[in-house]
Amino acid sequence: MASLVQPRLGGIHRQVSKVFFSEEKKQKTFAPGGVEIAVQGVSKSFDHRQILTNINLTIQPGQFIAIVGRSGSGKSTLLRILAGLETPDSGHIHRGTATQSDIRIMFQDGRLLPWRRVIDNVTLGLPIADHPRARAALDSVGLADRARDWPRILSGGQRQRVALARALAANPRIILLDEPLGALDALTRLEMQALIEALWQRARFTAILVTHDVAEAAILADRILLIEDGEIGMDLAVDLPRPRRTGAELAHIEEVALGRLLRQ
Amino acid sequence: MRASRWLIPWIVPVALLLAWEALTASGLVPARKLPAPHAVMLAFWSLLQSGELIQDALVSTGRAATGFAIGATLGFAFGLAAGISRLAENLVDGSLQMLRMVPHLALIPLVIVWFGIGEGAKIFLVAVGVFFPIYYNTYHGIRTIDAGLLEMARIQGLRGPALFAHVIFPGALPSILVGVRYALGIMWLTLIVAETIAGNSGIGFMTMNAREFMQTDVVLLGILVYAGLGKLIDSLARLTERKALAWHPSFSRA
């Protein structure tokens, strides 16, 4: 098993260090910086069923937020409202100076266009002048050599990396991640977590991750929000050095969050 | 092995031709009812030399192409409108689904009253026959595009023509091309019937005229020309499918 694990993790570590070492060089092409998001009194119901009740929340620019909760707790609805895909029944979202084009989403199912090659998926919606940035984004997720492939022949993890590159290519100030790693195997998930963290540290967009995986939330987030019955049940700051892999403090955070989830 | 793969599909047709030749040569089947293959070949050669065959084939192909172009353009336009707009769907889909159930050849008596027996009648019938499969498959193709992809495309900032070019058209294309192949079959069928009923040119006229003079070899030749033209056009359509849908698992050779 160990001999199998090492090369794969080795691969992504090379990738991550590549991201770090090229940081200064790429500083100009990436990094318009994150934006503050303020959620004021947001409520939403579907078919007379209350999904979110009076959510109030302020997210600092460039912060990495994880939203955890059980299925049907309303966490995905909150994400879709933050993205502007749903309008709340009441309340407001303030995104500072960010416009709709400063927001990108990465979905669990990737949502690549099967009829466009990898690079054309990454440039989707970008003006031609920005296409070099799409190639740089594809390079930053380690898939520059797959640019001319059809998405169909990529693995699940590679497809999610393309989706990540597509989200990054627009230089967004907010990236919303809707269970982006939920369908991946455990090893690929660890690789992707490291990659997402590295790219976020470089570009400093405001990141909001919806996940059912408390460990993933603890590894990636500055702050974990737990949604229960449509309300914020817990707001937990995670002030630990990065990158986080193991350790008593990390385990403690996980335990607190998981304990709270299970108590419901 | 490779040679045998090329040969195998030819065994049955060649055997049939030989059996047919043998039956007519032995006199078991009268040549007036069913001429021998070599007689059909001779008819082919003489009509080719006189230029009649080429002339009639061109006339038929021209009618087919004109009717197809008109019917396919209208079918695509209506399918697109109903596919992307609820209002257009509510407006036209119910009526079109009802009209689709009418066999378009049932219109022949009416069409003769409207257009006489000239070119207009034939082109109109072909266009009507082609319209429905293109309309339905365009509409259906657009409606079955993954809603998640449309949502993603809107987040990426795609609107209007860009959304059409990157998502709606390529997403509906597999279904549209199924409609095209189906429509091509209807196109020939309609044309044969229309040309057989009335007219003074085209392959259908050539066969009906030959029947008057009991030239069964020419009748048979006409049928074979329809088969050949139909096969040729279907091959073109399949080639288009393979080129345009290279991304699709069903059409990839990888």
CATH number of domain containing A20: 3.40.50.300
Question: Is any Cβ of chain A less than 8 angstroms from the Cβ of B144?
Answer: no
CB contact under 8 A, B156 and A166: yes
Burial B187-219 (b: 16+ CB within 10 A, else e): bbbbbbbbbbbbbebbbbbbbbbbeeeebbbbb
Q: For residue B24, which of B11, B12, B42, B36 has the smallest C-alpha distance? A: B36
**Residue A116 distance to chain B (closest CA, Å):** 8
- In this structure, are residues A237 and A252 in contact, taking their beta carbons and an 8 Å threshold? no
Q: Which residues pair with A67 in a beta bridge?
A: A210, A225
Question: Cα(A254)–Cα(A66) distance, rounded to whole angstroms?
Answer: 12
Q: Which long-range contacts (CB under 8 A, 24 or more apart) does A19-26 make?
A: A19/A140, A19/A195, A19/A198, A19/A199, A19/A202, A20/A198, A20/A202, A22/A140, A23/A202, A26/A136, A26/A140, A26/A202
Strands A37-46 and A49-59: antiparallel
Q: What are the mean pLDDT values of chain A's consecutive 10-residue runs (264 residues total)?
A: 41 51 42 82 91 92 93 89 92 87 92 96 94 94 94 94 94 94 90 93 93 92 92 90 85 88 76
Q: Which residues of B touch A79 (CB under 8 A)?
A: none
Phi–psi pair at A150, nearest 5 degrees? -80, 145
Mutate to test the interface with A, among B152, B243, B251 (most CBs of A within 10 A): B152
Joined together, the tokens standing for residue B236 give 């073109």
* pLDDT one-digit tens code per residue, A7-62: 444 445 555 555 544 444 444 344 467 888 999 999 999 988 899 999 999 999 99
Contact A111 B249 (CB under 8 A): no
Give the model confidence (pLDDT) of B36-47 as tens digits.
Answer: 888 899 999 999
The DSSP line for B39-107 is: HHHHHHHHHHHHTHHHHHHHHHHHHHHHHHHHHHHHHHHHHHHHHH-HHHHHHHHHHHHHHHTS-GGGG
Res A263: pLDDT? 79
Which residues of chain B are within 8 Å of residue A83 when distances are taken between CB atoms?
Answer: 155
Average pLDDT of span B75-80:
97
CA angle B93-B98-B100, nearest 5°?
90
Q: Is the pTM of this model over 0.90?
A: no
Q: If you write DSSP's letter for every residue of A140-161 in order, what string do you get?
A: HTT-GGGTTS-GGGS-HHHHHH
Q: Is the peptide bond before B13 cis (omega within 30 degrees of 0)?
A: no
CA distance linking residue A9 with residue A245, whole number of Å: 13
SS (H, E, C) B159-189: CHHHHHHHHHHHHHHHHHHHHHHHHHHHHHH
Does B9 reside within a domain? no
Nearest to B166 among A105, A114, A124 (CB): A124
Domains in chain A, number: 1
Chain A residues with CB under 8 Å of B164 CB are none
Establish if B21 belongs to a structural domain. no
Residues of A in contact with B162 (CB under 8 A): 125
pLDDT at B1: 56
For residue B170, list chain A residues with Cβ-Cβ distance below 8 A: 113, 115-116
Q: Give the pairing of strands A103-107 and A90-94.
A: unpaired
Please judge whether A113 and B158 are an interchain contact, meaning their C-beta atoms are less than 8 angstroms apart: no
Count of Cβ atoms closer than 10 Å to residue A99 Cβ: 10
Q: Which domain covers residue B79, as residue numbers?
A: 36-244
Q: Cα–Cα distance between A59 and A52 in angstroms, integer?
A: 18
pLDDT at position B252: 67
pLDDT at A97: 82
Cβ <8 Å between B156 and A116: no
Other beta carbons within 10 angstroms of residue A263's beta carbon come to 8
**What residues of A are in contact with residue B249 (Cβ under 8 Å)?**
152
Q: Which two tokens stand for residue A115?
A: 């009829």
Cα dihedral across residues A105, A110, A15, A238: positive or negative: positive
Out of A109, A125, A153, closest to residue B156 by CB: A125
Question: Which residue of A100, A111, A159 is the best one to mutate when testing the B interface, meaning the one whose CB has the most B CBs within 10 A?
Answer: A111
Distance CA B199, CA A210 (A): 70
* pLDDT digit string, tens, across residues B180-237: 999 999 999 999 888 887 778 888 888 888 888 888 899 999 988 888 888 899 899 9
Run of H or E including B243: helix B216-244
CB atoms within 10 A of CB B56: 22
Instruction: Judge whether B80 and B88 are in contact, CB under 8 Å.
Output: no
Considering only CB atoms, A113 lies closest to which of B157, B166, B249, namely B166
Average pLDDT, chain B: 90
| Closest-approach residue (CA) in chain A for B249 | A152
Distance CA(A67)–CA(A226), nearest Å, equals: 6
From edge to edge, which strands make up the β-sheet containing A223-228? A103-107, A174-178, A206-211, A64-68, A223-228, A231-237
Q: Are A94 and A40 in contact (CB under 8 A)?
A: yes
- Inter-chain CB proximity B248 and A103 less than 8 Å: no
Question: Which has the closest alpha carbon to B173: B233, B246, B100, B229?
Answer: B246
Residues of A in contact with B253 (CB under 8 A): none
Q: How many CB atoms lie within 10 A of CB B185?
A: 16
CATH of the domain at B220: 1.10.3720.10
Number of structural domains (chain B) is 1
Contact flag B171-A152 (C-beta cutoff 8 Å): no
What is the span of the domain harbouring residue A253? 2-263
The A-side interface with B (CB below 8 A) comprises: 83, 85, 100-101, 103-105, 107, 109, 111, 113-116, 124-125, 150, 152-153, 166, 170
In this prediction, residue A8 carries a pLDDT of 44
What pLDDT is recorded for position B226? 86
- CB contact under 8 Å between B247 and A109, yes or no, is no
**B165 lies within 8 A of chain A by CB:** no
For an interface test with A, give the residue of B155, B158, B245 to mutate (most A CBs within 10 A).
B155
The SS3 call for residue A205 is coil
Which chain B residues are within 8 Å of A103, Cβ to Cβ? 155
Cα nearest neighbour of B148 on chain A: A111
What is the reported pLDDT for A28? 39
Between CA A7 and CA B214 the distance in angstroms is: 81
For A113, which residue in chain B has the nearest alpha carbon?
B149
ipTM of the prediction: 0.83
Exposed e or buried b for every residue in A196-209, given b needs 16+ CB within 10 A? bbbbbbbbbbbbbb
Which residues from A are below 8 Å from B159, CB to CB? none
| B79 located within any domain | yes
| Residue in B155, B173, B254 closest to A83 by CB | B155
Please state, in angstroms and rounded to a whole number, the distance separating the CA atoms of residues A165 and A179: 16
Q: What mean pLDDT is predicted for residues B3-13?
A: 84
